[in-house]
Copies of this chain bind each other. A is one copy, B any other.
Amino acid sequence: MYSAELLKGTLSTIILKLLAEHGKMYGYEIAQCVRQLSDERILIKEGSLYPALHKLKDDGLVQTESEMVDNRVRKYYSLTNKGSQTSTEKVQELFEFIETIKQILNSKPSFT
Q: Which B-chain residue is minimally distant from A98 (CB atoms)?
A: B98
Q: Of A36-44, A58-66, A67-75, A76-84, which binds chain B? A: A36-44
Q: Does A54 make an interface contact (CB < 8 A)?
A: no
B97/A21 in contact, CB under 8 A: no
B101/A21 in contact, CB under 8 A: no
A88 CB to closest chain B CB (Å) equals: 11
Q: Which B-chain residue is minimally distant from A91 (CB atoms)?
A: B105
Q: Does A9 make an interface contact (CB < 8 A)?
A: yes
Ordered by A's residue number, 28 sampled pairs between the chains whose C-beta atoms are within 8 Å are: A2-B93, A2-B100, A6-B9, A6-B10, A6-B94, A7-B9, A8-B8, A9-B9, A17-B104, A17-B105, A21-B107, A21-B108, A22-B109, A34-B104, A37-B103, A37-B104, A38-B100, A38-B103, A38-B104, A39-B100, A41-B97, A41-B100, A94-B101, A94-B105, A95-B105, A98-B98, A98-B101, A98-B102
Further pairs besides A17-B104, A98-B101: 6, Cβ < 8 Å: A2-B93, A21-B107, A37-B103, A37-B104, A39-B100, A42-B104
